[in-house]
Structure 1
């Protein structure tokens, strides 16, 4: 029996070891899957849908080739609706995954241009590309001829703030990404040249063999058990060939029968037929008795205890253990960090060259107006300080608008580095606006936060905030009335009708240019001249973003005019160095009008709240000057 068990163990061990090794070698699964296609028609843009990128689980590796100039090729990905909005009015090749063939397929899409930035694409069948059967795309390029629609020159997607990630030039040849289903990839050159026409997406495959190691180890263990059983059986078999036990005690001798002495009357040797039959009957009887005795004893000596094999218990396997519908935020935090770095670089370049054209690439509205004026003043006044630089990082607060339309608004607070003397500087708060999908974010407001400013509780950047309408009655004061009300406070101080609405504590702008400062300026004017102040809301759009307590962060533009007039014939007023740099007039016999721009950020509590409107930050400076006629 032991030999049989040993043979079974050997066979099972061999099967287990061979199966384990085969799983790691002959039957090892592939390490990746690849779907590829060659796109015909020389399209300027190729869009790979998110469903195609997620046709198989795992990180996607996108390979592109076939661009006329690899240095200009661009691979970027963003939300599918954003990609379609950027392609509004353009023709592109849409790449999807064909489940039947397991390869990529393309069709031409001509999207309709829309004002809101979203698109309703209309697809027209395109020649079916020949999929590449190998992991790398080896299919021949598509038709050399191209349709007029697909060959139409368009804008370049490079450098757009709309993308979540972007790869340019050689970096776009092979890109690794892990995008969800709602994200698509756009592949292009510079818009004037055809896009790369060979695309391939590769996914990793789980090539692990979890049973290989247990099978090999289990087979080796079973092999050892088989060898042990075989040696045990061999040992037992050899022992069974010798005497099983010592001989038992000898049988006692039978008592001798008394000798028969014949008498004279009886013959010694009986004669006749009867006497012979009697002797023969006595001998067998004696033999039968002796055999009976010896047979019983031998049977008892030869009988050995029977050994029954014990069946091993079969183990029983244990039973196996058993914000919807809300628009996404306009940008992600990594996307915003990249945008702020681009703005910081552009602002530093424009400030260093005092070039308003460069500044206009990243600034608009009041922020651009103030920078243009500063450049003009610095060109004629060497001691005029530059405006605070836009730091590139770190972003300490991000509040994107929750929307899927345009324009889009994003608020960011960036920590400023220490100045040259090592003193801390106030953080810079920016309001960024993107008017259309193809526009980059521009700085509309840039303010320095107040030292004691307390930013209210805001929504996380992963959710975003809603934009409050300018005429909303749900706030303590509608956003479009905040600028005028605060301007009146700067003009009249505590005597203003709106003074009770605003918190005076921590408001450093009021102490700098408020009613008391204006009174001192008027008192310092000679009798031959007069000084008057007026304030009006600026032309820039009001931006209001909701807070978690139903209030809002409100950004407004306020402009204040300072008119210095001559009131006595023959008198003359001096414009001052700053106003002279902007107006070109050093002195005037009629008067000088100077315009100051105020970019203001407020926290406006909800209607019915006992809290007051608080100034969070501001930026101010002269933005214009002219001679009064």
Structure 2
């Protein structure tokens, strides 16, 4: 009966183990969750918002298939949506069924979309022919835009995959039960085997057949001398000799004298388990005990193996065991946990600006080398571009003339992006040179619209010995201020004209008290310097006059930590040189001669310079006597013409 129970337990254990293994193999759920869309849409672009990408937990894999060149970009949601604007597009949504649906979104702007790749706002770009595949751990507040070739419809074979931590709650119980039944079947088998052996009873030990030499030896021993009570054995008789030898062994203890032990110590003879003399086999009792202990150890090992497996299995992950339904989490509006989450996002991240700066350096180097103003337009705008165009013109006529200051090739030492979700956007950066002897440059970049690149609109050299006011970190950024803000000590729209008047009239200017009198730009082009220039011998027979005019660039303001602002602005200062009497000529220097087309003029010359300044403007509640300070400036030749 025990054998039957052991067999039944073994069969049950195999069935349970098989079912448990099947839970993790043939019946295991898929390793990924897939949402796929294969709908045909006419829109030129597909927008995959962050909500769709984060419909399931885990790192996402995006696969886009279609004809021709395909492009997928990743950016912050407000940047991607700003780039799309009012253009028609398809919005990807994960339906309740798990499928990815493309909902067409109408738009008023029916113009053809430009190329999706290459914009400064993208965090990642992926392109390919026929298929684009990439993995991303999509942060909150980001989105993906997918487009095909310009002018064509967007690819509609879009697939999102998430890793799926498949739960098999029956695997643990089934395998545990299977191992327990296996241990039970082994135990029953051992008990049945033990019972079977006991029921057989003691067995007579069988003797092996003696060889001829052994029989002859026994016959000789019997012939030489026999114990008392043993009959003589006839020569050649083997069986009587064997029996006589056996009798002698049985009777040997009885024949010993009283009180005397057989050969060896009496204590040794009294212990059935005493060790045999060296070179002899152990006694029969000890061999019997060892033979009995060996099956017991083997039986314990067979039982312990499933038991250890069961104990080890209890340490498996919770996905292998049944668990209660998860408690529903409270849903509500997320609570901001940091200052960054309560403020508008910054215009660019540090990673984005690093890429923008590198591209600006490459564009500037190529344009300066080829003296190509058209190439410089990719990264420069406004009066800064006009000054660069002027430099290219004079250098094309005279290659010995100095080139315009390039983009610094050192590290980014300060980055202050604007806090905004709209356009235009402003970014201020202080960049150094690898040559430490060169002055750091403060550069202001602006992005006019979402589909435009960032362009340099101001570039000034920081004044020696002047400290920038403390500003926020690049992850927080700074707010911009309108030109009519009351939060500053002076109205920003008046500062540029006021400082230009201060440069023309010096202490006699009505705005002289607004500015620090010892700033480096005042020392370079201020009223005192202008008077000294007019007194030079070469201008003895000429009249010098200066005037100022606004340029087309609007000032850029970013708030500092003290409540003030950094303000980048520029204006055009014109120097007019005219002869005092007939016969006197005005000589044009090399660059002015190229631009005016004359080396000497009897009517006079007008030379215009672009003056760029970076001001530190105090807050409205700054202590009395605080003045606007110049922290950086640059003066560049802009134009020259003959009067008349």
The aligned counterpart of 2:335 is none
The change in CA–CA distance for 1:388 and 1:13 in structure 2 (over 3 A counts) is farther
- Alignment partner of 2:85 out of 84, 88, 97: 88
The change in CA–CA distance for 1:27 and 1:518 in structure 2 (over 3 A counts) is same
The aligned counterpart of 1:472 is 485
- Alignment partner of 1:619 out of 622, 634, 638: 634
The aligned counterpart of 1:263 is none
SS at match of 2:89: strand
- Alignment partner of 2:376 out of 341, 359, 364: 359
- Alignment partner of 1:108 out of 98, 104, 108: 104
CA–CA distance in structure 2, aligned partners of residues 108 and 232 of structure 1: 75
The aligned counterpart of 1:139 is none
Aligned residues: 512
The aligned counterpart of 2:204 is none
The change in CA–CA distance for 1:33 and 1:552 in structure 2 (over 3 A counts) is same
* C-alpha displacement of 1:348: 1.8
The change in CA–CA distance for 1:360 and 1:10 in structure 2 (over 3 A counts) is same
* C-alpha displacement of 1:456: 2.1
1:562-615 CA deviation, whole Å, 9 max, x = no partner?
111111111101011121122212111011111111111111111231343222
The aligned counterpart of 1:390 is 407
* C-alpha displacement of 1:190: 4.0
The aligned counterpart of 1:415 is 432
Q: Residues 337 and 393 of structure 1 are in contact (CA less than 8 Å); yes or no, is this contact kept in structure 2?
A: no
The change in CA–CA distance for 1:606 and 1:225 in structure 2 (over 3 A counts) is farther
CA–CA distance in structure 2, aligned partners of residues 426 and 197 of structure 1: 53
Once the two structures are superposed, the pairs formed by residues 164-563 of structure 1 within 5 Å of their partners are 164-170=123-129, 173-207=132-166, 323=339, 326-391=343-408, 394-418=411-435, 423-493=436-506, 496-503=509-516, 507-524=519-536, 525-563=538-576
The change in CA–CA distance for 1:514 and 1:237 in structure 2 (over 3 A counts) is farther
Specify every segment of 5 or more residues in structure 2 that has no aligned partner in the other structure, as ranges: 202-310, 316-323, 328-338
Once the two structures are superposed, the pairs formed by residues 59-70 of structure 1 within 5 Å of their partners are 59-67=59-67, 69-70=68-69
The change in CA–CA distance for 1:331 and 1:520 in structure 2 (over 3 A counts) is same
* C-alpha displacement of 1:239: 9.7
Shifted more, 583-592 versus 47-56: the winner is: 47-56
Q: Residues 75 and 187 of structure 1 are in contact (CA less than 8 Å); yes or no, is this contact kept in structure 2?
A: yes
Q: Residues 399 and 458 of structure 1 are in contact (CA less than 8 Å); yes or no, is this contact kept in structure 2?
A: yes
* C-alpha displacement of 1:513: 2.5
CA–CA distance in structure 1, aligned partners of residues 613 and 585 of structure 2: 35
1:402-435 CA deviation, whole Å, 9 max, x = no partner?
22222222222233222xxxx4433332212222
Q: Residues 366 and 599 of structure 1 are in contact (CA less than 8 Å); yes or no, is this contact kept in structure 2?
A: no
CA–CA distance in structure 2, aligned partners of residues 614 and 215 of structure 1: 79
* C-alpha displacement of 1:327: 2.6
The change in CA–CA distance for 1:221 and 1:155 in structure 2 (over 3 A counts) is same
* C-alpha displacement of 1:368: 0.9
Shifted more, 396-405 versus 370-379: the winner is: 396-405
TM-score, normalising length: structure 2: 0.69
* C-alpha displacement of 1:238: 8.6
Q: Residues 65 and 131 of structure 2 are in contact (CA less than 8 Å); yes or no, is this contact kept in structure 1?
A: no
SS at match of 2:452: coil
- Alignment partner of 1:583 out of 596, 602, 611: 596
1:288-336 CA deviation, whole Å, 9 max, x = no partner?
xxxxxxxxxxxxxxxxxxxxxxxxxxx9x9xx9x956643222222222
CA–CA distance in structure 2, aligned partners of residues 326 and 379 of structure 1: 49
The change in CA–CA distance for 1:217 and 1:391 in structure 2 (over 3 A counts) is farther
Q: Residues 539 and 557 of structure 1 are in contact (CA less than 8 Å); yes or no, is this contact kept in structure 2?
A: no
CA–CA distance in structure 2, aligned partners of residues 612 and 223 of structure 1: 91
The change in CA–CA distance for 1:53 and 1:450 in structure 2 (over 3 A counts) is same
The change in CA–CA distance for 1:559 and 1:385 in structure 2 (over 3 A counts) is same
* C-alpha displacement of 1:175: 2.0
The change in CA–CA distance for 1:407 and 1:233 in structure 2 (over 3 A counts) is same
CA–CA distance in structure 1, aligned partners of residues 489 and 581 of structure 2: 46
1:474-496 CA deviation, whole Å, 9 max, x = no partner?
21222222222332343344555
The change in CA–CA distance for 1:486 and 1:22 in structure 2 (over 3 A counts) is same
The change in CA–CA distance for 1:558 and 1:202 in structure 2 (over 3 A counts) is same
SS at match of 2:539: coil
SS at match of 1:382: coil
* C-alpha displacement of 1:549: 1.5
CA–CA distance in structure 1, aligned partners of residues 636 and 134 of structure 2: 47
Q: Residues 44 and 192 of structure 1 are in contact (CA less than 8 Å); yes or no, is this contact kept in structure 2?
A: yes
Shifted more, 334-343 versus 82-91: the winner is: 82-91
The change in CA–CA distance for 1:389 and 1:234 in structure 2 (over 3 A counts) is farther
1:256-287 CA deviation, whole Å, 9 max, x = no partner?
xxxxxxxxxxxxxxxxxxxxxxxxxxxxxxxx
* C-alpha displacement of 1:545: 0.9
* C-alpha displacement of 1:504: 5.2
Specify every segment of 5 or more residues in structure 1 that has no aligned partner in the other structure, as ranges: 114-148, 243-314
- Alignment partner of 1:161 out of 87, 101, 120: 120
* C-alpha displacement of 1:497: 4.4
Q: Residues 410 and 434 of structure 2 are in contact (CA less than 8 Å); yes or no, is this contact kept in structure 1?
A: no
